[in-house]
Amino acid sequence: MPVFSLDDTLNFPHPALAEADGLLAVGGDLSPERLLAAYRLGIFPWYNEDEPVLWWSPDPRFVLFPSELKLSKSVRPLLNRNAFRFTVNKAFAEVIANCREIPRAGQEGTWISREVENAYKELHQRGYAHSAEVWENDTLVGGLYGIRIGAVFFGESMFSLRSNASRYAFAKYAQLLQKDGVQLIDCQVYTPYLESMGARMIEGKEFRNHLGIQA
């Protein structure tokens, strides 16, 4: 299938038309309106700073149903004793900055450019992008951020400065989202880290059904 080129409108091709690797479209910008239009279709941006914006819709899709959350032997005791202080939307700018800056094994640089960082901070100001934080006393040591639309939370990135801090943040937030009516957490692409916490692959059609998109 061809990779679609976006114009100045906010229209996206149907997400089922993506290439085998998930690439769907190229171009456009990171305006709040375009980003929200993309997420409502299960499409997300992911590109290097020196590239045009690339838009993805992988099939199959890596997701976590909050009711299927798995707590490891290392994380469960931490949760039981409230080892970290947990907050939501108290330090969004700091969370995304840490996600951008923290070194990651096997990766050179980060896809979270200043342009991406500023775009998601704007979505946070509009009430769509959210962060979860874990603290040691007053020091931020882990967290995550993503987009919530209706009953779906689209996870974007996480970071950890202490052992199991990001797992703690993810587990606490998944439990909170479930209580708040979220039915699905989109993890986008496979990682063994999230698989160990209960994430699994589902077909793109099933994923789109959760978004209310016709096949």
Q: Domain residue spans in the chain?
A: 4-59, 62-211
Q: Which amino acid is at 176?
A: L
pLDDT tier for residue 71 given thresholds of 50, 70 and 90: very high
Q: Tell me how far CA of residue 151 lies from CA of 61, 69, 108, 178, 183, in angstroms.
A: 17, 16, 34, 9, 5
Kindly state the average pLDDT of the residues 30-50: 96
**pTM here?**
0.94
**Mean pLDDT over the full length of the chain:** 94
Share above pLDDT 90 across residues of the chain, in percent, rounded to a whole number: 91
Per DSSP bridges, beta strands 85-88 and 61-64 are unpaired
Kindly state the average pLDDT of the residues 108-133: 91
Kindly state the average pLDDT of the residues 78-87: 96
Indicate the helix (H) or strand (E) that contains 177: helix 165-179
pLDDT tier for residue 108 given thresholds of 50, 70 and 90: very low
Q: Looking at the predicted structure, is the pLDDT value of residue 107 above 70? A: no
* Cβ-count burial 115-140 (b if 16+ within 10 Å, e if not): ebbebbbebbeeebbbbbbbbeeeeb
Q: What is the pLDDT of residue 2?
A: 75
Q: Where are the beta strands (DSSP E) in the chain?
A: 4-5, 23-26, 44-45, 54-56, 61-64, 85-88, 129-136, 139-149, 152-160, 184-188, 200-202
Given a contact cutoff of 8 angstroms between Cβ atoms, the answer to whether 201 and 190 are in contact is yes
φ, ψ of residue 171 to 5 degrees: the values are -65, -45
Determine the Cα–Cα distance for residues 52 and 28; give it in Å rounded to an integer. Answer: 8
Given a contact cutoff of 8 angstroms between Cβ atoms, the answer to whether 176 and 124 are in contact is no
Kindly state the average pLDDT of the residues 177-189: 97
Kindly state the average pLDDT of the residues 160-181: 97
| Architecture (CATH level 2) of domain 4-59 | 2-Layer Sandwich (3.30)
β-sheet bridge partners, residue 202: 61
Q: What is the pLDDT of residue 106?
A: 47
Q: Looking at the predicted structure, is the pLDDT value of residue 211 above 60? A: yes
Could you confirm whether domain 62-211 is CATH 1.10.490.10? no
